[in-house]
Amino acid sequence: MRIALLGGTGDIGKGLALRWGRDTDHGIVLGSRDPEKARSAADEYEATLESRGVETKITGFVNEMAADRADVAVLAVPAYHLTDTVETVAAKLDDTVLVTPAVGMKRDEEGFHYNPPPGGSVSSLAADAAPDDVPVVGAFHNLAAGGLTDLDTEFDWDTPVFGDDEDAKATVMELADEIEGLRPLDVGGLANASEVEALTPLLINLASQNDGLHDLGVKFW
């Protein structure tokens, strides 16, 4: 399977690229608005994996080229870049599952707060911007970036997954399950996006206020 990480030079893109590069045989492609930045990051991630005895090929391109022929494209971009990114690659999303981990947040002196757009969730923004025949799945919202990018961190986390297309959701859940220490949990359709997205600022606030919770994730029992 070919996985494109659009905005793959950021923490979430880096973490998923390293984890899938280490734990699977899928083709990993990084996307960026700056192709040179994508290629440089791809070389860096390859070197990181090679230093751990893992030989894999990671390539980097401009976002449109990274999305072209991808089976799954992850929107590893901040919420405020999400719509523009989807519109930029829309013509390249042929039989592609689009995945969004983005969360709308604002910060004040009290901490981080969920800041959903008028449509109700960032995931709904992705669905509205995507072509009608492109399924959108939400996943990977509540993963601590520091732990995800540090391959020395062994985690035991859950990631809620939602989407209206059952086949697309199953594909993303399989990909999540292939990452060591990550368990995907089905939470239904896109209508449930806001409940999942709202967990992220809560986790950030907990991590910032409590010693030893820097790489906090969620686990359901």
Residues 6+ apart with CB under 8 A from 32: 7, 8, 9, 38, 41, 60, 62, 63, 66
Per CATH, the number for 2-209 is: 3.40.50.720
What is the rounded CA–CA span in Å between residue 44 and residue 37? Answer: 11
Domain ranges in the chain are 2-209
Residues 124 and 138: their CA atoms lie apart, in Å, by 10
Phi, psi of 63 (to 5 degrees): -50, -45
Q: 109 with 178: CB under 8 angstroms?
A: no
pLDDT at 213: 84
Q: How high is the pLDDT of residue 18?
A: 97
List all residues 6 or more positions away from 206 whose beta carbon is below 8 Å from its beta carbon: 213, 216
Measured from the Cβ of residue 112, the count of other Cβ atoms closer than 10 Å reads: 17
Q: In degrees rounded to 5, what are phi and psi of residue 120?
A: 110, -30
**Helix and strand counts by DSSP (H, E) for the chain:** 9, 10
User: Are 34 and 166 in contact, with CB atoms under 8 Å apart?
Assistant: no
Query: In the structure encoding, which two tokens stand for residue 180, read together?
Result: 């060591």
Sequence-ordered alpha helix ranges (H) in the chain: 11-23, 35-50, 63-67, 79-89, 122-129, 145-149, 166-177, 193-197, 199-209
Write the DSSP string, 148-173: HH-TT----EEEEEEES-HHHHHHHH
Average pLDDT per consecutive 10 residues, the chain (221 residues; last block may be shorter): 96 97 97 96 97 95 96 96 96 95 95 92 96 97 92 94 98 98 98 96 93 87 92
d(CA 66, CA 131): 17
Six token digits for residue 209: 């206020």
